[in-house]
């Protein structure tokens, strides 16, 4: 039986059949636990909280908790399942707030909560989910509370910084990378850290996996931004140029601006202008795809992925390390 033949799909490339089977079984436990954790005495609160969870999602963060836990002697402990629920509830909560900030109508192919109800419901549902994740974290002890508080601070800081311009054009790239690290890298780092810690892995492995998660998480987001420009169709999961049209700063665009080449005047004009028309967007995409900034952005992701893989040398060779290395390879190659 192949790793893909039964149970929920895995959001990480796990080729070892026994490991894949264990992870699938534990993901089922996580899913059942999540369903219980978002039950409220008020039926409407439960409905609103279940809205995005029922819409699907890859459950990448809880899966990373479970995979990282395989580095310790207690991979199947209740604390590991508990920690997996903490990170997924935190992630879900942030999506409710993201959709309000982005004025999004859809999330995971379904109406966003703010579209189905209104912004007030979406914001308060996100707050409620954050509170549930905090309750669960308290059960894991004071160290987990400290880690979660720091993670939450970074996540929210990243969301705030995304809404404000950098202090100057010279720090625009640094500003963007800080946003990505906060919004995406922080929780993925915590996912890996939680798995190792609550499975009883050595501190050296905890630190390595946390650093791995931080790097590969941010690199994955940047590779997604590159695909938004590079993909010729909606094969990447969204219409090409969505970020451009919405004026979202991404690494390739910031690298174009930093280059400051005279021959980029037309491209800069398009980027600074109205890209609501299909014609203007198509022209901007053609110019961007041909710009050296795309190769520079890809090289950045490849370098970060290799940096993440190098951190895994503290792990014993085997299927767990193979899966984590394979995910870094996916991050590096998906920008092509």
CB atoms within 10 A of CB 2: 8
Mean pLDDT value across residues 298-322: 96
Res 2: pLDDT:
44
Res 3: pLDDT:
43
CB atoms within 10 A of CB 241: 19
Q: How confident is the model at residue 108 (pLDDT cuts 50, 70, 90)?
A: low
Please name which of 262, 247, 263, 253 lies closest in space to residue 230, comparing C-alpha atoms: 253
Q: How far is CA 1 from the centre of its chain?
A: 30
Mean pLDDT value across residues 10-31: 94
The β-bridge partners of 106 are 111
What proportion of the chain, given as a percentage, has pLDDT over 70? 89
Is 239 a residue whose pLDDT tops 90? Answer: no
Query: Cα–Cα distance between 193 and 196 in angstroms, integer?
Result: 5
Res 8: pLDDT:
75
Q: What is the rounded average pLDDT for all residues in the chain?
A: 89
Res 6: pLDDT:
60
Query: Cα–Cα distance between 195 and 198 in angstroms, integer?
Result: 6
Q: How confident is the model at residue 54 (pLDDT cuts 50, 70, 90)?
A: confident
Q: How confident is the model at residue 241 (pLDDT cuts 50, 70, 90)?
A: confident
Q: Does domain 202-335 have CATH number 2.40.480.10?
A: no
Mean pLDDT value across residues 152-176: 92
CB atoms within 10 A of CB 36: 8
Res 51: pLDDT:
75
Query: Which has more confidence, 90 or 94?
Result: 90
Is 318 a residue whose pLDDT tops 90? Answer: yes
Do 146 and 84 touch, CB atoms closer than 8 A?
A: no
Mean pLDDT value across residues 3-20: 80
Is 205 a residue whose pLDDT tops 80? Answer: yes
Do 281 and 239 touch, CB atoms closer than 8 A?
A: no
Is 111 a residue whose pLDDT tops 90? Answer: no
Q: How confident is the model at residue 41 (pLDDT cuts 50, 70, 90)?
A: confident
CATH of domain 15-171: 1.10.600.10
Is 247 a residue whose pLDDT tops 90? Answer: no
Is 144 a residue whose pLDDT tops 80? Answer: yes
Res 110: pLDDT:
66
Q: Which residues contact 2 (CB under 8 A, 6 or more apart)?
A: 17
Residues of the chain with CATH 1.10.600.10: 15-171, 202-335
Query: Cα–Cα distance between 333 and 336 in angstroms, integer?
Result: 6
193: which 2 tokens?
A: 């850290």
């Amino acid at each position: 039986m192949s790793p893909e033949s039964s149970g929920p799909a895995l959001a990480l490339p796990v080729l070892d059949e026994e490991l894949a089977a264990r992870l699938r079984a534990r993901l089922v436990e996580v899913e059942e636990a999540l369903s219980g954790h978002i039950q409220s005495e008020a039926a409407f609160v439960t409905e609103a909280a279940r809205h995005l969870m029922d819409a699907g999602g890859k459950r990448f963060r809880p899966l990373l908790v479970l995979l990282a836990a395989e580095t310790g002697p207690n991979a199947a402990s209740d604390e590991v399942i508990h920690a997996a629920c903490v990170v997924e509830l935190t992630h879900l909560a942030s999506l409710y707030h993201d959709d309000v900030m982005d004025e999004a109508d859809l999330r995971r192919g379904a109406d966003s909560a703010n579209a189905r109800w209104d912004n007030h419901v979406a914001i308060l549902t996100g707050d409620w989910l954050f509170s549930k994740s905090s309750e669960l974290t308290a059960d894991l002890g004071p160290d987990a509370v400290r880690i979660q508080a720091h993670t939450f601070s970074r996540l929210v800081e990243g969301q705030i910084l995304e809404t404000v311009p950098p202090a100057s054009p010279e720090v625009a790239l640094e500003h963007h990378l800080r946003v990505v690290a906060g919004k995406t890298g922080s929780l993925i780092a915590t996912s890996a850290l939680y798995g190792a810690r609550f499975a009883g892995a050595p501190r050296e492995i905890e630190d390595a996996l946390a650093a791995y998660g931080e790097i590969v998480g941010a690199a994955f987001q940047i590779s997604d931004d590159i695909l938004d420009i590079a993909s010729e169709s909606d094969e990447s999961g969204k219409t090409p140029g969505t970020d451009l049209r919405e004026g979202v700063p991404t690494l390739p665009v910031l690298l174009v601006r930093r280059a400051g080449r005279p021959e980029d005047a037309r491209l800069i004009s398009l980027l600074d202008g109205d890209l609501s028309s299909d014609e203007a967007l198509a022209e901007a995409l053609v110019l961007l795809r041909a710009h050296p900034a795309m190769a520079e952005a890809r090289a950045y992701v490849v370098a970060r992925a290799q940096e993440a893989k190098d951190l895994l040398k503290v792990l014993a060779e085997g299927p767990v390390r193979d899966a984590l290395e394979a995910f870094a390879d996916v991050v590096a190659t998906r920008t092509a």
